[in-house]
Structures are given as structure tokens and as C-alpha cells.
Chains A and B, each alone.
Chain A
Amino acid sequence: MFDTLSARLGQVFDKLRGRGALSEGDVDEALREVRVALLEADVALPVVKDFLAQVREHAVGQEVIRSVAPAQMVIKIVYDHLVSTLGSEAAGINLAAQPPVPVLMVGLQGSGKTTTTAKLALRLQNENKKKVMMASLDVHRPAAQEQLRVLGEQAGVVTLPVIAGQQPVDIAKRAMDAARLRGFDVVLLDTAGRLSIDEALMAEASLVRTAVRPSEVLLVADALTGQDAVTTAKAFHARLGVTGIVLTRVDGDSRGGAALSMRAVTGVPIKFLGAGEKLDALEPFYPDRIASRILGMGDIVSLVEKAKATIDEDDAKKMEAKLLAGSFDMDDYASQIKQMRKMGGLDGVMAMLPGVAKAKAQLAAANIDDKLLARQLAIIQSMTKEERRKVKILDASRRRRIAEGSGTSVPEVNKVLKQHRTMADMVKKIGKLGPKGLARHGLPGFPGTAGFGRN
């Protein structure tokens, strides 16, 4: 359903190749596509409008660098702006106060407050070496206090014993007293889920806040949230003075535009991401990751960096020479496979590329997965040196021997040969173009995946 932004912008800019600078018209046309992409990613409309106005200012009149396609150029501008809006600094949790330091957890019903409270407690205990106590102030949802107690047991974090009938403000005070007496560093106060328009419950949370003066008020919000993210974040911030946001269910497949919406309207940093059912699944926030995800473009930057770090310079030079000569043997093919595996296997590479969903479907259809890479490698390794250099000599009996030696089958061996041939053909073409062609195409992609990175 979601076209990647890069694909869309590619279409927009196809007709403008070879122009000097981005004109107002070009930029406006491109930003219309960006608008749709942001809205499909659930960024709230008012935030989208502000954001685009800012990007427009940056983009108009920008020189188009000759080696970069205008589409890439706009994406880069949008992406950079998105990252800086999301907050380029990683913000940790502020515990600089007289212990016990109270932290208040607030949010809508079902946003994941209780689970997040336990995850955060575990993290503070393990990584910050703090003595942590948790207390549930949720006297509304049936068994909510029991839920936190059980999670405390699972995480090995102390919870305040429940006194039936006690009200939130009193529980909070009792938690602080108990923590003071017993020398705890941090007290996490989990509150009941509430609607931003529920006056009574917002007033109750506000009373708790006044009573314990927390050093952090963390808004726990669901990454699946739609346009309502702005309303909710604004209301909680106005009433309770939110100091940070924890985005949950980042392990789902939503595009997570709520992150941008909430950050933009509150100005408070996103501090953590909840990314799994297990209690250790709480991660620090990386703006670049969420930015790529919102734009649906995969983590292009990290891919490039990873590729740089992984591909050995010498290897690359050797490969370049081979490419220019237009020759590409089985050893070269094997080294391509090895490089892919070094970069985290197909899944690792794919996750960083734009258009992933489509590419993954194609891969699934072609039955290409990481196991297959390993098997292909095994097949190549079962060939003799001579066979690897001169593929032509592989007759039926050699193929049978290779299949047996690698624990595969003859059709699989044939498949490797076919893929090698496809790749070798491509290499020949690039070789004919000379060094210029090489620079334009970069190293050839893996057969079947070739072209995924280019839009």
C-alpha cells in the first residue's frame, strides 16, 4: 500500500534531469509527495504543514550536485530536517536529584505504561546500577496493581505492597516514604490510563505530581497512534508537564509518525523505544532510525557506512580490475556472497534498503534467504580451483559430484551457475562502459536483488 518516498520522488524528478538548481515548482511537486508519505506514516496534519514549510525554505534554490539525482537531493534535505526535528541528541533519563528520585509514568489506556514501567525499572537497575522501586497508582483498571507486582517479580524489581482502597496520592506518598526509609535511588510511579479529556483523572495525576515533584514525567505513547497523537501529547503536556516520551510497540509495522507529531508539539525529547514483549526490550531513541522509517526509505545512511566498513579496500580494487576486464569467475561470486553475509545477511541488508517490502516479497517468491546464501557458498566451495575459474568445464558428472560434496542437489548447483552467469553478463556490460560506468553502477548487486538500492 505504501510506495516508498524514494520511488515516488524518482518519478517526479525523472523529467527534470540535468537542471541546475531546484526551482520552486520542482520543490513544490516533490513536497506534495512528501506530504502524502508523511500522512500515510501517521504524522499529524498540522505538524506535516509546519514541517513542509520549513523544508521548502531549505530546498528552493539548492544547487543540484551533479552526481546526485534531484530526488535523492530532496530526500536528503527532508531526511536531515526530520532527524533534527526528532532531536539529534540522545536524551537519557534525568536522575539528578536527591534520592529517592520519583519518575511519573502517564498515558492513555493501553499505551503500555505498566509494561514500560517494568522495563525501565529493569534497565535502571541493570545498566545504571540504581536501586529501584515500583508502585502502581492504578486503582481503576481491575488487577492493574497485581499486574505490576507480577512484572516486578519477573524483573526482580521491588514493588510497593498494595493496600486495598488506598488512593493514588496516598500511594505515591507512601512509596516515597518507603523508598526513603529503605534507601532506594529511584521510584517509578505507574498511573492509570486516562483520556486527555477526563478532567477528574487528569486532576488526580496533577495532584500526584504536586505531591511528589517527579524529576521526570514520562508520557508513554503507542507507535501505532494516528492523528490523535497531537491532541493527546498537547493535553498531557499542558496538564502534567511532560519531560520525555517513551514510544511503545516500535516492533510493530507502523511507520511511527506519532513520534514526529508528539515531539513537534511538545518539544520534549523521545527518550526510549519499547520494542518487544520481553522485559529487556527497551532501547534508547535514535532519531535517524525513526526518520528513515517515517519516510519509508530504509536506513540508507547506515547501509552506506556499513558497506564502507565491511568491504575491504583491496578486495574492492581487485574487483574493480576484474570488472573492467569484464571477467567474473566463481571466486568473485563467492566473495560477493561473503560480503553480503558480513553485512548482516540478506535480512540485514534488506532492512536497510528502501522499498524493502516489495523486495522482500520478490525474495520470498524467488526463495532467496540467508540459508540459501550459505548453501550457495557450500556449492562453490565444493568446486575445484579450476572449476571455479572456468565454469564452462562443469559437465553433468562434475555437477553431480559438487551436489554430493555440498550436501545439495543438482538443480541447486544449476541455479548457482545460472545466477553466476546473470551476474557475469552484467559485469561484462559494465566493463564495456569503462571506469565511468563502474562509478555510476558501483559494485554489482546480488543477482535477484540488483537494483533495489537504486530508485
Chain B
Amino acid sequence: MTGSTTGSAPALGWLARLRTGLSKTAGALGGGIAGLLGGRKIDRATLQELEDQLVAADLGVRVAGRITKRLGDTRMGRELTPVELREALAEEIAGVLAPAERALDLTAAKPFVLLVVGVNGTGKTTTIGKLAARMRGEGRKVMIAAGDTFRAAAIEQLRVWGERAGAEVVADAPGADAAGLAFTALQKAREAKADVLLIDTAGRLQNKADLMAELAKIVRVLHKLDTTAPHAVLLVLDATTGQNARSQVEVFRGIAEVSGLVMAKLDGTARGGMLVAIAEEFGLPVYFIGVGEGVDDLQPFRATEFARSLVGLEP
């Protein structure tokens, strides 16, 4: 959607973009911590300020408290420069995130069925477009099922992405049964000997029982054709979302067997700190992060890089 990114825009790596974003954001985490102290002793006041900065990056009060406490436990009384302090903080955070850094293996099945779920407006359809382009780039044959039969023009939106990525889009009329479409798409993907089938779904709030039941039905129906399908269920989280992201992971995981996460919209001013709390609690892999709206603005998740950019450090 950013005018410049309709197809081939890359040039800037996502970290560069993140930093550009950071530098434009007054009071962003990095700046905040830099402004904290010039070689000050780690004492209670320092720790409180650090905790505040982490809270402001959406890590949540509890997690921010735990991380700064660990920092205090090991380094209380020591004198650290701002950079050293940030390094230490990034190290703590990267430690929490490290287990979440895992690659998505698409060779486990053919077609590898990947279901994409999430709350409305988090960036599911855009993520699918970018995933398709990425997989095509790796030489795979990709098919997309336009499973969001609810939102107006969602199917058209996906068709445009399919064209950009060079992937066939299987669609039905608006309002059609999404589970039925998923079933048909899997049959088609088998016939066409596709390597990957990406299934889009309508956005739904996790507290809507009826809509969540629909999602469970899609999973059930896929099971019928292939007991191992879907082979991966990706939950797309929005980096601007606050504490509610935790409940999204909990409920979607319970109902749709979510096996991994994607965090979209990290090119804005939101830091996506909820990912730290979520990684700690649920141990789910974070496969990708979204850093823009161009086809190539989907990057593998790197724990250390994410942690460092969270505290305003170079990668």
C-alpha cells in the first residue's frame, strides 16, 4: 500500500527500515534508553526506567519486570555505559526469543497445506501474497485458496496478489462456505501437483465462538482429505496490538492448532514487544516478520536482530 512498494522496491533491508522508523519516532525505545544515563550505576531507579521503556515497547508489565529484574540480579551496582546497558538488555531478550527462531520446513508433505488465520486487519491476505512470492522465488509451485469469503472484495485482493506472485488462486463466490472451498482447493492442488497450498481465512475476533467454530471446521475438513493437513497453521499478529495478542495466541492455538506465528506491520512505530511475552509463554516458532507492503517485505525472524532492534541497537 505504501505507494513505492508495488512489486520491486527492496534496497533497504528491514533492519535499515526499522532503524529509519526508530529514528523518526520521538521517544522510541532506543532513544529512551540512550537518554537514560551516561555510565550510571545500575540501581533501582535505573531498573525502573528500563522497565518503563520495555513497557512502552509492549512487552507488558510482568515480562518487562522479569527481564529488568534478571538484569539487576546479575549486574546490580555495576557501572555501564548506555551501549553496554542496551547490549545487556538485548542479550536478555534474545535469550527469551531464541527458541522461537525456527525455519518453516515445506518439504514435509506435497502439497504442503498452510492455513493462515488471525483477527481482522492484522495482515493475513498481504502476508499470503508475500509468502506466495517468496515460495515461488524458491522455485515452488504455489496455489492459493481465497478462503476469506466474508469480507467484501477479499477475493479480488487476493487475485491481485496471486498475479504478482505467479500463483494460481482458487476462489468461490462471496459468502460461500470456506471449509468447502478449502476442501476443493486441496483437491485441485493435488491434481495440479502443487508444492504448497496457502489457505486464506476471514479475520475473526477470538472471542466470537461461532466464527471460531467455523475455523475449527476448516481444519476438520482438511483432515478428511489428508490426516496430516493442514501441515502448518500460521497466526498473523499485528505489531501494533497490545496485551490482547496473548489471548489471540491462546485461543487460536486451542481451536485451530496454530503451529507458528508471523508478526506483521513492523515497519511502523510499533515495536511488537508482545512477541517476547508470547515466545516465553507459548514456545511457538515465529517464522516471519512483515516489514512493508511490497512482495519482498517478508523476512525470516531472527531472535538476536529482533531483540537488538527492540532496544535500538545495530544488528
Residues of A at the B interface (CB closer than 8 Å) are 1, 36, 39-42, 44-46, 108-112, 138, 140-144, 146-151, 154, 192-198, 200-201, 204, 222, 224-229, 231-232, 235, 249, 251-255, 257-258, 277
Is B1 a contact of A197 with CB atoms below 8 Å? no
7 A-B pairs within 8 Å (CB atoms) are namely: A44-B56, A110-B265, A150-B174, A151-B152, A226-B240, A227-B242, A258-B242
Q: What is B's interface to A at a CB cutoff of 8 Å?
A: 1-4, 6, 20-21, 24-25, 27, 52, 55-58, 60-61, 119-123, 150-154, 156-157, 159-161, 174, 205-208, 238-247, 265, 267-271, 273-274, 293
Q: Do B1 and A143 touch (CB < 8 A)?
A: no
Determine which of A140, A254, A257 lies in contact with B1 in the assembled complex, contact meaning CB atoms within 8 Å.
Answer: A140
Contacts of A225 in B (CB 8 A): 240-242
Check A147 against B157 for contact (C-beta < 8 Å).
yes
User: In the complex, what distance in Å separates the CA atom of A295 from the CA atom of B302?
Assistant: 36
- Report A400 CB to chain B, min CB distance, Å: 37
Residues A201 and B244 in contact in the complex (CB < 8 Å), given A36-B61, A109-B121, A109-B123: no
Which residues from chain A contact B273 at a C-beta distance below 8 Å? 227
User: A150 CA to B148 CA in the complex, in Å?
Assistant: 15
Residue of B nearest to A197 (CB): B24
CA distance A242 to B293 in the complex (A): 25
A254, B55: Cα distance in complex, Å: 17
Closest CB-CB distance, B263 to chain A, in whole Å? 13
Query: Closest chain A residue to B123 by CB distance?
Result: A110
Question: For A277, what are the chain B residues with a Cβ–Cβ distance below 8 Å?
Answer: 150
A255 to B241, CA, bound (A): 12
| Contact partner, B157, options A110, A141, A235, A249, Cβ 8 Å | A141
**Which residues of the other chain, B, contact A148 by a CB distance below 8 angstroms?**
152
List of B residues within 8 angstroms of A147 by Cβ? 151-154, 156-157
User: How far apart sit A147 and B160, CA to CA, in the bound complex (Å)?
Assistant: 13
Cα of A141 to Cα of B294 in the assembled complex, Å: 11
A152 → B minimal CB distance (Å): 9
Select which of B119, B159, B267, B293 is within 8 A of A252 by beta carbon: B119
- Residue from the list B20, B57, B205, B293 in contact with A227, Cβ < 8 A: B57
- Which residues of B have CB within 8 Å of A235? 269
Chain B residues in 8 Å Cβ range of A1: 246
Give which listed residue, A36, A108, A200, A253, contacts B4 with CB less than 8 A: A200
Q: In the bound complex, how far is the Cα of B153 from the Cα of A140, in angstroms?
A: 14
Contact partners of A194 in chain B: CB under 8 A: 1-2
The 10 closest A-B pairs by CB, nearest first: A226-B242, A110-B121, A142-B160, A42-B242, A147-B153, A150-B152, A140-B1, A143-B156, A228-B270, A254-B244
Could you tell me the distance in whole angstroms from the C-beta of A265 to the nearest C-beta in chain B?
A: 12
A253 to B151, CA, bound (A): 21
- Residues on A with beta carbons closer than 8 Å to the beta carbon of B151: 147
Instruction: For the complex formed, measure the closest distance between the CB of B61 and the CB atoms of chain A, giving whole angstroms.
Output: 5
Contact B242 A109 (CB under 8 A): no
Rounded to whole Å, the gap between the CB of A15 and the closest CB of chain B is: 23
Known: A39-B55, A200-B2. A224 touches B160 (CB 8 A): no
With beta carbons under 8 angstroms apart, the residue of A108, A140, A232, A257 that contacts B242 is: A257
| Contact assessment for A252 and B207 in the assembled complex, using a CB-CB cutoff below 8 Å | yes
Known: A1-B246, A258-B242. A143 touches B123 (CB 8 A): no
Given contacts A109-B1, A226-B274, A253-B207, contact A42 B269 (CB under 8 A): no
- Could you tell me the distance in whole angstroms from the C-beta of B277 to the nearest C-beta in chain A? 10
Residues of B contacting A252 in the complex (Cβ-Cβ under 8 angstroms): 119, 205-207, 244
Name the contact of A197 in the complex, choosing from B21, B152, B159, B271 (C-beta under 8 A).
B21
Complex contact A196–B57 (CB within 8 A): no
Which B residue's beta carbon lies closest to that of A48? B55
Name which residue of chain B comes closest to A192, CB basis.
Answer: B1
Please name all residues of chain A whose beta carbon is closer than 8 Å to the beta carbon of B121 when the two chains form the complex. Answer: 109-112, 222, 249
The distance from the CB of A232 to the nearest CB of chain B, in whole angstroms, is: 7
Q: Which residues of B contact A146 (CB under 8 A)?
A: 152-153, 156
Contacts of A110 in B (CB 8 A): 120-123, 238, 265
**Are the CB atoms of A108 and B268 closer together than 8 Å?**
yes
Name the distance in Å between B274's Cβ and chain A's nearest Cβ: 7
A249 to B120, CA, bound (A): 9
Decide: A197 and B269 in contact? CB cutoff 8 A: yes
Q: A227 contacts which chain B residues (CB < 8 A)? A: 55-58, 242, 270-271, 273
- Residues of B within 8 Å of A196, CB to CB, are 268-269
Name B23's closest neighbour in chain A (CB-CB). Answer: A197
Contacts of A249 in B (CB 8 A): 119-121, 205
**Chain B contacts of A150 at CB under 8 A?**
152-153, 174
Query: Distance in Å from the Cβ of B148 to the closest Cβ of chain A?
Result: 11
Question: Roughly how many angstroms separate A228 CA and B20 CA in the complex, as a whole number?
Answer: 16
The closest CB in chain A to the CB of B150 belongs to: A277
Find chain B residues with CB under 8 A from A258 CB: 242
Q: State A112–B60 Cα separation when bound (angstroms).
A: 25
In chain B, what residue has the closest Cβ to A110?
B121
Residues in chain B near residue A198, CB distance under 8 A: 2
CA distance A194 to B265 in the complex (A): 11
Min CB–CB distance B253 → chain A (angstroms): 15
Given A140-B2, A222-B121, verify A42-B268 contact (CB < 8 Å). no
**A residues within 8 A CB of B25?**
197, 231
Nearest CB of chain A from residue B170's CB, rounded to whole Å: 17
> Contacts A108-B265, A222-B240, A249-B121 given; 9 further ones with Cβ under 8 A?
A109-B293, A138-B1, A143-B159, A150-B153, A195-B268, A226-B245, A251-B208, A252-B207, A254-B244
- Residues on B with C-beta less than 8 A from A192 are 1
A201→B1 CA distance, assembly (Å): 9
B240's partner among A36, A39, A141, A228 (CB-CB below 8 A) is A228
By CB atoms of chain B within 10 A, which of A46, A147, A224, A226 has the most? A226
- Which residue of B has the minimal Cβ distance to A199? B24
Question: Known contacts being A143-B160, A150-B153, is A224 close to B238, with CB within 8 Å?
Answer: yes
- A276 nearest CB across to chain B (Å): 9
Residue of A with least CB distance to B208: A251
| Distance in Å: Cβ of B140 to nearest Cβ of chain A | 22
The verdict on A228 contacting B243 (CB below 8 Å), with A36-B61, A142-B157 known, is no
- Docked-complex contact B157 and A228, CB < 8 angstroms: no
Give chain A residues whose Cβ lies under 8 Å from the Cβ of B57: 227
Query: Residues of A contacting B21 with CB < 8 Å?
Result: 195, 197
A228 and B245 alpha carbons, distance in the complex (Å): 14
Q: How far is the CA of A41 from the CA of B270 in the complex (A)?
A: 17
Tell me whether A40 and B55 are in contact (CB under 8 A).
Answer: no
The reply to whether B244 and A42 form a contact with Cβ atoms under 8 Å apart is yes
**Which one of A40, A141, A204, A229 contacts B243 once the chains associate, using CB atoms below 8 Å?**
A40
A206 to B270, CA, bound (A): 23
- With a CB–CB cut-off of 8 A, which chain B residues contact A224? 119, 238, 241-242, 244-245
Complexed CA–CA distance, A455 and B56 (Å):
31
A254 to B243, CA, bound (A): 8
Question: Which residues of chain B have C-beta atoms less than 8 A from A193's C-beta?
Answer: 1
Q: Cβ of B240 and Cβ of A42 under 8 Å apart?
A: no
Give the shortest distance, in Å, between B54 (CB) and chain A (any CB).
10
